[in-house]
Amino acid sequence: MSCVVGEDLTMKDVIDVMQLQREKSKQAISVDYREVENNFVAVRFIFECGIKLDAQPLTIATAAILYHRFFKEADSSGYDSYLIAATTLYLAGKVKDDPLKIRDVINVTHNTLNRGAAPLELGDEYWNMRDAIVQAELLIMRMLKFEVTIVHPHKFMLHYLKSLEGWCEKDDWSKMPIAKAASAFLQDFHYDPAILDYTPQHVAIACINLALQCYGGQVLPTDEGEGVPWYSVYADDLQKDKLWEIMEKIMEVYNKEPK
């Protein structure tokens, strides 16, 4: 933002920012997945389709993790990222016992890629897609050595937040949407394969700590001040450097978002 000259200008700038955000979110709505193909957009595709399919949040998170793990093993130029994305979503439904019908997955993914297209007829095209997904499902499982059970940061985060809530002054806690922000950070971190590099516990702590930093809440002893930081109760193996490294990775996600 340009430097502030007077009060009026400040106001104007603020409005501009809001305008910018509105435009940005408008643009984001009409992501044309056929135009761009990279892992970030593919995970967005997973989230979009997952929400349309009314999948549980943890199912969608599983799909995102499976997607990243697959492309950690495989060369991304060899596979259609949207086929893999659709398949991880379908597979995640089975892993999390949140079954998604293959027909629904095909219809939703097809329509999300080809916005405005009519639903697929039960023809060759549909059968081909179904075969592709069924085949890709086994391919993914084999690539991941059939290890498709995932330990999520979510439950750790919930547990940490619950006990932090009891620790804080009630007024301080309710003033700041820490839980909401931390959850948003956690969900967004799933866009980045870096999430694979850290333990679920550490990711959960980093999301909460980032939220605390954002709101400048001095409700808890942070690692800025003296004494024992709040998170040491939950993870005694987490050093400050590591924590800030994860927090930076989370922030980087927002730079990777396509403009």
Partner 1 sequence: MTDPACMHVKSEAMDIKVLHKSSTFSSFTSGSHKIGNWFATLSERRRKSSMKASKSLTLGVVHENPRFGSDGESEEASGASDEVTSPVKLRPKNRRLSEQDINKRLSLPADLHLPESFIAKQNVSPTIDGPLSRATRRQSLSEIGFGRMETYTKLGKLGQGTYATVFKGKSRLTDNLVALKEIRLEHEEGAPCTAIREVSLLKELRHANIVTLHDIVHTEKSLTLVFEYLEKDLKQYMDDCGNILSLNNVKLFLFQLLRGLAYCHRRRILHRDLKPQNLLINERGELKLADFGLARAKSVPTKTYSNEVVTLWYRPPDVLLGSTEYSTQIDMWGVGCIFYEMACGRPLFPGSTVEEELRLIFRALGSPPADAWGGMAASYDIPHYQPAPLLSWAPRLDADAVDLLTKFLCYEAKKRVSAADAMKHTYFRSLGPAVHKLPDVVSIFTVPGIQLNKDPGYRASGFPKSGVSGRSRRQSMLL
Q: Which of residues 117-156 bind partner 1 (CB under 8 A)?
A: 117-118, 120, 125, 128-129, 132-139, 141-149, 152, 155
> Closest distance between partner 1 and the C-beta of residue 46, in Å?
11
Structure tokens at 111: 């329509």
Residues 203-232 that bind partner 1 (CB under 8 A): 213-216
DSSP string, 237-248: T--HHHHHHHHH
State the Cα–Cα distance between residues 245 and 72, nearest whole angstrom.
20
State the Cα–Cα distance between residues 164 and 166, nearest whole angstrom.
5
> Closest distance between partner 1 and the C-beta of residue 205, in Å?
18
> Closest distance between partner 1 and the C-beta of residue 170, in Å?
22
| Of 158 and 235, CB closest to partner 1 | 158
- For residue 59, give the nearest of 184, 190, 195 by alpha carbon: 190
72 lies in the site for partner 1, by CB under 8 A: no
Candidates 13, 104, 113, 179: give the one binding partner 1 (CB under 8 A).
Answer: 113
110 lies in the site for partner 1, by CB under 8 A: yes
Window contacting partner 1 (CB under 8 A); options: 5-13, 110-118, 194-202, 223-231: 110-118
Reported residue count of the chain is 259
| Of 194 and 232, CB closest to partner 1 | 194
> Closest distance between partner 1 and the C-beta of residue 135, in Å?
6
Structure tokens at 134: 């069924």
Angle of CA points 155, 73, 58, to nearest 5°: 20
Contact code string over 16-55 relative to partner 1, x by CB under 8 A: -x---x--xx--xxxx--x---------x--xx--xx---
Task: Answer for the pair 204, 156: CB distance below 8 angstroms, yes or no.
Answer: yes
State the Cα–Cα distance between residues 84 and 88, nearest whole angstrom.
6
Exposure string for 213-233, b = 16+ CB within 10 A, e = fewer: eeeebebbebbeeeeebbbee
68 lies in the site for partner 1, by CB under 8 A: no
Q: Any idea which residue has 């897609």 for tokens? A: 129
> Closest distance between partner 1 and the C-beta of residue 39, in Å?
15
| Of 114 and 228, CB closest to partner 1 | 114
83 lies in the site for partner 1, by CB under 8 A: yes
Structure tokens at 223: 């690692």
| Of 98 and 232, CB closest to partner 1 | 98
Structure tokens at 81: 């990222």
| Of 98 and 242, CB closest to partner 1 | 98
